[in-house]
Amino acid sequence: MKRRADLPELLAPAGDFECLVAAVEAGADAVYVGGRLYSARAYAKNFDIEELDRAVSYCHLHGVKLYVTLNTLLYNNELQAAVEYADELWRIGVDALIVADLGLIRALREELPELELHASTQMSVHNVRGADVAASLGTSRVVLARELSLSDIKAVTAGCKPEVEIFLHGALCVCHSGQCLFSSLVGGRSGNRGECAQPCRLPYNGGKYPLSLKDLSLAAHVPALIDSGVASLKIEGRMKAPSYVYTVTSIYRKLLDERRSATAEEARELARAFSRDGFTDGYLTGRLNGPMTGTRSESDKAETRAISTESYTPTRVPVEASVAIRLGQPSSMTLTDKRSGRSVSVTGDAAAPARNAPLDATSVKDRLAKMGNTFLTLDPSDISLELDEGVNMSPSSINALRRSAAATFEISHREPVTIKELKIAKNSTRVPAKKHRTAIFYKISAYNAYKPDGYFDVIFLPLWQLFDGLCDRVPDGVALPPVIMQGEMADVCRMLERASEMGIKYALVGNLGQIGLAKEYNLTPIADFRLNVMNSLTKDALVELGLDEPMLSPELTVREAGDIGGREIVYGRIPLMLTERCFMRESFGCRSCSEVGLTDRRGFEFPMVREYEHRNLIFNSAVTYIADKPEQLSLFSDEHYIFTTESGEEIRAVCDAYKKGLKARTGVAIRRIGKRSSG
């Protein structure tokens, strides 16, 4: 759906109140902030509820919208508090929430149906199908993945039902958002929970920085973005200083208003505010290569430090007033915004006959003009006063009239909603005598060497590998590419049609838009871990969309996973990252495809495998293994196995180990379920 306004909304970040003031001063149409709870920037200063109340007032006085991020994945025991927190945000007048957790979205639609929701980029929306499913769940806007080209952005915007928001400027994750488990499973700090330790900024393979991307800047493409129909252009940077927010926002404000690209000097000014050896527009233009890589040099830091660090103080809104103080009648005060003409009126105590000194106009105006700790300014000369002769009114009553008028003018509170207790049922399914087991093989040679013996009910091969001519037999199922751009959809549909004709019955799906896609080709969809099931309400939402026993997130502990119930990854190297760029081709050459990896500073090796259209999967150095933990295996009705570097013989040994409850073979780094560090 194309935007409703002539120009896209300019959406600026704010990590604290001074940054918010800087964003408003610089011309943002909307500002997004994080609260102290459930925000994907856990280490930003963020806002408590009182600060958010003040922020809403300030933004609305200046005609700016305020969005709050509630975009982390939630555990069962957090859902009730998250919905009640959302109710507080609704009450103080927040314009929208940016959300990622399907369970939370489901609960908010039931409890707060009028609250506007925007689907975070963490939901991994890459195409029209994904955007429309997000809209069907109750979101009015989707934030597209950063990796889309301009042609894909235009196609999604023109074809989908919700509004579209894209990133305009700021830091880039090398992994597709919502698909990164590197920080969580290796470092114990979950990116999906706002705690990312940024492993992509660390050195690999002898001191190189292959995963560190330059910051995004689309300043050279503003006219094309205006023409694309997107509703909102988003600047990243809730961890940045007020000077960064002001500089970047003001430059893009000018570019949008003048419908032009940045000059060379404006581009240099953006780089001085913050860059990593310059900027990249590689995703938008399709130039996915080495120049996208960059680290923050000492000269970059020096340039940023040299920028003026002036403070940003709130700009007061000039108002005029009309006041009536009449004998025996309630007093009244009307405040009017001198810029927009917006007015509010309140009433107060009545005036009484004066016993001694009656009120005089000058002293009354002086008292009414004292706006104190508000965002308003009122000059006594801008007060029109009707004052009866010979009347009096206490100073406290005059002050109360002024305070009431200012509060009514500033505050846009809504009536709170009574939040019911959420129905979050714990898993009560008895594990059947015959477990349902699935496996994915990333290596065709291992698949060919492994002779099925009935241990697995469904074996998946990556869809694109099915047609390379190397497959000895038709598998039970295909794994859809984790990312399908709009421009790739026709090719994927052709492959799915052929797969269906070959008799394939199942599809492993890892994206909302893929559920209906699989069904269209008569394939039974089975949920992959990429759908991020962290709580029971998310599982319920996916079941309603047609998925049976969705696969659980690898970030859950054994107890958390057991309480939800479903399919669990019980063996294998879990994919940590999905990259749009082909680092194997760049760093090692195509002849080394799927035979290479990354080695970190500690010597841990992370295998890499090619995905559809030369994307790369980076796998954990440690193997998830619980064959020797029968009490854990008993919690899951469905089991999932991931085979990457294993040979056919090693795969048979794994199956035998799980049948017999054997310990893992020596020399292999082991990860236990719920243990996030492999080091």
What would the pLDDT profile of 550-591 be if each residue is shown by its tens digit?
Answer: 999 999 999 899 899 989 999 999 999 999 999 888 888 777
Burial of 657 (0-12, 13-18, 19+ CB in 10 A): middle
* pLDDT at residue 630, as a whole number: 93
> Is the Cα dihedral 555, 557, 563, 568 positive or negative?
positive
458-462, 568-572, 590-594: the lowest-pLDDT one: 590-594
User: What is the pLDDT at residue 429?
Assistant: 57
Question: Three-state SS string across 146-165, please?
Answer: CCCCHHHHHHHHHHCCCEEE
Q: Which two tokens stand for residue 461?
A: 């091969």
Reported confidence tier of residue 661, pLDDT bands at 50, 70, 90 = very high
Which tokens belong to 146? 């950063």
What's the chain's average pLDDT? Answer: 93
- Statement: 9-172+215-263 belongs to CATH 3.20.20.70: yes
pLDDT given at position 676: 45
List pLDDT tens digits, range 447-457.
999 988 899 99
- Report the distance separating Cα 435 and Cα 455, nearest Å: 9
For residues 17 and 47, what is the distance between their CA atoms, to the nearest angstrom?
A: 8
For residue 211, pLDDT over 80 is answered with yes
Residue 430: what pLDDT? 55
Q: Which two tokens stand for residue 390?
A: 């010979």
* pLDDT value of position 38: 79
Q: Do domains 9-172+215-263 and 436-576+623-666 have the same CATH topology?
A: yes
Please say whether the beta carbons of 505 and 533 come within 8 A: no
CA-based nearest residue to 384, from 372, 406, 368, 407: 368
- Looking at the chain, the whole-number percentage of residues with pLDDT higher than 90 is 86
Nearest C-alpha neighbor of 34 from the set 78, 80, 85: 85
- 3-state secondary structure (DSSP) of residue 42: coil
The 3-class secondary structure across 462-476, one letter per residue, is EHHHHHCCCCCCCCC
CATH number of 436-576+623-666: 3.20.20
Q: Which residues pair with 66 in a beta bridge?
A: 31
Which tokens in the block code for residue 678?
């492999």
The answer to which of 52-61, 118-127, 267-276, 670-679 has the lowest mean pLDDT is: 670-679
User: Average pLDDT, stretch 532-538?
Assistant: 96
Give the pLDDT mean for 2-29: 95
Are 526 and 506 spatial neighbours (Cβ–Cβ below 8 Å)?
yes
pLDDT bracket for residue 44 (50, 70, 90):
low
Please tell me the distance from the alpha carbon of residue 388 to that of residue 133, in angstroms, as a whole number.
64
Kindly report the pTM of this predicted structure: 0.95
User: Which of 36, 666, 7 is CA-nearest to residue 15?
Assistant: 36
Return the closest-CA partner of residue 569 out of 538, 539, 529. 529
Question: What band does 679 get if pLDDT is binned at 50, 70 and 90?
Answer: very low
Local structure of 536: helix, strand or coil: helix
Q: Where exactly are the structural domains of the chain?
A: 9-172+215-263, 317-410, 436-576+623-666
User: What digits encode the pLDDT tens for the residues 132-159?
Assistant: 999 999 999 999 999 999 999 999 999 9
Where does the pLDDT of residue 603 fall: very low under 50, low under 70, confident under 90, or very high at 90 and above? Answer: very high
Calculate what percentage of the chain has a pLDDT beyond 70: 97
**Directed axis angle between helix 102-111 and helix 536-544, to 10°?**
80
Cα separation of 441 and 224, whole Å?
42
Q: What pLDDT does residue 322 have?
A: 98
Mean pLDDT of 57-69: 97
Question: How far is Cα 679 from Cα 603, in angstroms, rounded to an integer?
Answer: 10
The confidence band for 310, taking pLDDT boundaries of 50, 70 and 90, is: confident
Amino acid at 286: G
Name the token pair of 642: 């991931």
Task: Give yes or no for residue 628 having a pLDDT over 80.
Answer: yes
CA dihedral (352, 356, 360, 362) positive or negative = negative
Residues 240-266: tens digit of each pLDDT:
999 999 999 999 999 999 999 999 999
pLDDT of 284 > 80? The answer is: yes
Residues 318-339: pLDDT tens digits?
Answer: 999 999 999 999 999 999 999 9
> Given pLDDT bands bounded at 50, 70 and 90, which one contains residue 428?
low
In this structure, of 10-14, 15-19, 378-382, 429-433, the range with the lowest mean pLDDT score is 429-433
Phi and psi dihedrals of 186, rounded to 5? -100, -40
Length of the chain in terms of residues written: 679
Cα 516 to Cα 232, 480, 525, 651: the distances in Å are: 28, 12, 8, 32
Task: Please say if the pLDDT value at position 25 is more than 80.
Answer: yes
Q: Can you give the pLDDT at residue 593?
A: 75
Average pLDDT over residues 535-543: 96
Q: Report how far residue 14's alpha carbon sits from residue 488's, in angstroms, rounded to the nearest whole number.
A: 36
Across-strand partners of 567? Answer: 551, 638
Residue 199: closest CA among 604, 672, 647 = 604
